[in-house]
Structure 1
């Protein structure tokens, strides 16, 4: 399986529906994008995923992980 956001093959099943095997939850180990098997194709298919939101795996290490928290107001 290919991640729709970063196009890598490091995708794992994170969870499955507890009743009836209705859905699966996937997680990309490269970019941490997650999605259910019941999502629309524009969220699950790498070819249909919005190009504006694609991530290149090589840029991930230089991205900010946590936004800075502003100082408390007095």
Structure 2
């Protein structure tokens, strides 16, 4: 199985249906895209990621501590 967004093959199963075999949720270990086994994921080309794009993504700043 390959990630529909970045093409990586390192996919984890992060959730399973309480009804055995009904569905599973997968997540890419590289770009964190997730999808359910019951859907056919489609990612528009503008949203696809390459290793170069992933390496150059901006880092989300940490949330500052609350003021007292």
- TM-score bracket, normalised by the shorter chain, equals 0.7 to 0.9
| C-alpha RMSD over aligned residues | 1.9
1:56 aligned residue: 50
- For structure 2, the 5+ residue unaligned runs are 64-68
What are the within-5 Å matches in structure 2 for residues 1-74 of structure 1?
1-39=1-39, 41=40, 43=41, 49-66=43-60
Q: Which has the higher helix share?
A: 1
Scaled by the length of structure 2, the TM-score of the pair is 0.76
Instruction: Give, in whole Å, the separation in 1 of the partners of 2:30 and 2:5.
Output: 10
The number of residue pairs the alignment matches comes to: 63
**Runs ≥4 residues deviating over 4 A:** none
SS state at 2:55 partner: helix
